[in-house]
Amino acid sequence: MLREFSFYFGLRKIEEDNLLSQKRQSPLRYRTIVMILLTTTIVALQVTRLAQLQLVQGKQNRERAENNRIRPIPVPSNRGLILDRHGRAFASNDLKHSIYLWPKEQPKKQWKITAAKLSAVINMPADEILEKVEEAIISGERNVHLSYQVSRDTFITLQERGEEFPGVEVRPESIRYYPYGQLASHVIGYLGEVTPAELKANPEYQLRMMVGRIGIESSANDVLAGKWGQQLIEVNAQNREIRVFKEEEKEAKSGKAVKLTLDIDLQKSAETALGSRKGAVVILNVNTGEVLAMASYPRFNPNVFTKPMPEEKWQSLHSEEQSFLNRSLEGYPPGSTFKIITAAAAMGSGKFSPYSIIQTSDSIYVGGISFNEHSGGYGPIGFRTALAYSSNTFFYITGMSIGPKQIAQWAYKLGLGGKNLNLLGIPAAYNGLIPTEEDKRKIYNDAWYLGDTITMAIGQGLVLVTPLELAAATATIANGGKQVKPHLFANETNSPEMKPIPIGLKPEYVNTIKEGMIDVVDYGTGQLLNDGTIPLTGGKTGTSEIMGQKSHSLYVGFGPAKGAKIAIAVIVENGGYGSTSAAPVAKKVFQTYFNKYSQAKLN
């Protein structure tokens, strides 16, 4: 009995131990199963994601990785300089830093964070930054230009905190700079960002390239612009350049410099003398036709166009007092300055000689209309005295005698009528007028009357002449009767195309007009310029009447009287008498010229 009990007790003990062991192993087994399931799930997810990245989105992500690592950087060319006749720069270049964004280097959500940080650094609203990013992504642009001419502090901040701004790059760039600001702005012109239409028409153009809009910047754009290049660079996570792929590099070619005939000192003098009065001043070399100065007021500052601007500001600038209008090339009634042309036509027609005498009076009557003299008649006078005192009745009579066709014919020979405007070298539309009977029928649907010839003879009525043309006509008389070709590019001066052409007026006729212009200054209406501060010059005053407004003031002249070197034309809109407003402007310019140059040679 005892042995059976012991055996039974032993079996019971073993069963109890087995149950206890099973209880202890159950939690361990459960945890093991959970771990196995969890591990399997994680691995499955990783495999799924990897398959998605490599198989489904593989191409897209490879492109993104490549774009993150390799950047194609357009390399702008340095624009050629625009120089005056002595090599001083009207237009040069300045090194600035600009901010670019690479939209694909961050997810769209991340750009919101970057834009918020960047906004505080560059003082640009975050919404505006995001808008540019989104536009770039939609249009497929690799990078977007965010800000021009970054300040030194901003540049340093972005360099030091580069890791906070992935996809943000600060790039050095050459920016157009006009060291003299508004000086000669109508001649030099300005730049504007290339338009989509221009990009399509010119495959060599690059996005955001700046091209010439008016003036020399426009007409010589192909010479000045050069050719853009390209670099492939590798950058790290902090947007710092690691290396340049030299084998893929396309070198930029700088534009060529353009040398003008303008003289900065004379240009300054002309603009200073004109001041803030609407008008224009043109100065020519009487022997070559080189334009030494071309001033127009109001002016504009081309520096404001070196970066893109909002449409509202653009429209505002263009509406300000016609600041972009080059008044040197605008047609004005020339008034009595046109009597130079009428005198040339009278003698050139063969109906009058240098010794012809005409009886003047206080007025003449034609068709029941009284055409008055300035201040009573001068009695019997010749061409020199008629020019000196600007006799109206003298030129009424000569004009009626030779007729409008002869006046127009000699006007063209003296360089009027827009014939040579295309040689100037800048884009311009001619709006002067040497009227004919046909012109009057077209414009007014009316016949030509004798009164039209009378007013034409003294530079009124339908006659419109630009200051540039008046300067050219004056130069023709001053150089002995050769029509000059006004031009702005220095390399054209000695070309066959610019060679002065004799107009066919006998030397004694030319000399009579020239002496009459010297008499104007010596004792006539232009005595203001004969005060001893400058050598004796020749000139002609003019006052053009404007319906309902104060008359325009005009003056043309050449200097010195003997061996003339320069010719000048001045108009001051609504300035009154020519001797009052325009002549003092010419005097200041002559003072600058004679102080700078010897009378024997124009450098």
Q: What is the residue whose two structure tokens read 């990245």? A: 53
Res 37: pLDDT: 66
User: Is residue 32 included in any domain, yes or no?
Assistant: no
pLDDT tens per residue across span 409-456: 999 999 999 988 989 999 888 999 999 999 999 999 999 999 999 999
Question: If we measure between CA atoms, which residue out of 532, 545, 537, 505 comes closest to residue 520?
Answer: 537
Beta strand 82-83 with 258-259 is parallel
State the average pLDDT over residues 481-494: 97
Same domain, yes or no: 128 and 162: yes
Q: What is the residue whose two structure tokens read 């040339």? A: 344
Same domain, yes or no: 248 and 292: no
Same domain, yes or no: 301 and 226: no
Res 466: pLDDT: 97
Res 600: pLDDT: 42
Same domain, yes or no: 92 and 235: yes
Same domain, yes or no: 379 and 463: yes
Question: If we measure between CA atoms, which residue out of 538, 564, 505 comes closest to residue 342?
Answer: 505
Is the pLDDT higher at 14 or at 493? 493
Same domain, yes or no: 245 and 280: no
Q: Residue 582 pLDDT > 80, yes or no?
A: yes
CB neighbour burial string for 324-355, b if at least 16 within 10 angstroms, e if fewer: bebbbbbbbbbbbbbbbbbbbbbbbbeebebe
Is the pLDDT higher at 565 or at 105? 565
Same domain, yes or no: 307 and 440: yes
State the average pLDDT over residues 237-261: 73
pLDDT tens per residue across span 155-205: 888 877 877 787 787 877 788 999 999 999 999 999 988 888 888 888 888
Is the pLDDT higher at 102 or at 458? 458
Beta carbons within 8 Å of 270's beta carbon, 6+ residues apart:
281, 283, 293, 294, 295, 585, 589
Q: Residue 43 pLDDT > 70, yes or no?
A: no
Structure tokens at 243: 């290396």
State the average pLDDT over residues 521-534: 96
User: Is residue 60 included in any domain, yes or no?
Assistant: no
Among residues 235, 259, 283, which one ends one of the domains? Answer: 259
Distances in Å between the alpha carbon of 489 and those of 261, 286, 368, 525? 6, 16, 52, 35
Res 374: pLDDT: 81
Q: Residue 532 pLDDT > 90, yes or no?
A: yes
User: Is residue 162 included in any domain, yes or no?
Assistant: yes
Categorize the per-residue pLDDT at 306 as very low, low, confident or very high, splitting at 50, 70 and 90. Answer: confident
Here the CATH number for the domain that contains residue 275 is: 3.40.710.10
Same domain, yes or no: 112 and 205: yes
Q: Residue 492 pLDDT > 90, yes or no?
A: yes
Q: Cα angle vertex 156, ends 150, 161, to 5°?
A: 115
User: Is residue 21 included in any domain, yes or no?
Assistant: no
State the average pLDDT over residues 219-240: 75
Res 109: pLDDT: 79
What is the model's pTM?
A: 0.82
Res 64: pLDDT: 44
Q: Report how far residue 328's alpha carbon sits from residue 325's, in angstroms, rounded to the nearest whole number.
A: 9
Distances in Å between the alpha carbon of 248 and those of 72, 239, 288? 10, 20, 50
Q: Residue 386 pLDDT > 90, yes or no?
A: yes
Q: Residue 224 pLDDT > 80, yes or no?
A: yes
Segment (H or E) for 501: strand 501-502
Categorize the per-residue pLDDT at 30 as very low, low, confident or very high, splitting at 50, 70 and 90. Answer: low
Res 134: pLDDT: 80
User: Is residue 333 included in any domain, yes or no?
Assistant: yes
Structure tokens at 345: 């036509």
Res 597: pLDDT: 82
Q: Report how far residue 236's alpha carbon sits from residue 223's, in angstroms, rounded to the nearest whole number.
A: 38
Q: Residue 12 pLDDT > 70, yes or no?
A: no
Same domain, yes or no: 469 and 517: yes
Q: Residue 136 pLDDT > 80, yes or no?
A: no
Structural domains counted in the chain: 2
Res 25: pLDDT: 57
Among residues 214, 241, 259, which one ends one of the domains? Answer: 259
Same domain, yes or no: 77 and 156: yes
Q: Residue 240 pLDDT > 60, yes or no?
A: no
User: Would you call 285 exposed, middle or buried from its count of C-beta atoms within 10 A (0-12, 13-18, 19+)?
Assistant: buried
pLDDT tens per residue across span 51-110: 554 554 455 445 444 444 666 667 778 899 999 999 999 999 988 888 888 777 777 778
Here the CATH number for the domain that contains residue 173 is: 3.90.1310.10
Categorize the per-residue pLDDT at 131 as very low, low, confident or very high, splitting at 50, 70 and 90. Answer: confident
Res 2: pLDDT: 42
Same domain, yes or no: 268 and 216: no
Res 88: pLDDT: 98
User: Is residue 36 included in any domain, yes or no?
Assistant: no
User: Is residue 63 included in any domain, yes or no?
Assistant: no
Same domain, yes or no: 312 and 353: yes
Domain of residue 215 covers 71-259
User: Is residue 23 included in any domain, yes or no?
Assistant: no
Q: Residue 580 pLDDT > 60, yes or no?
A: yes
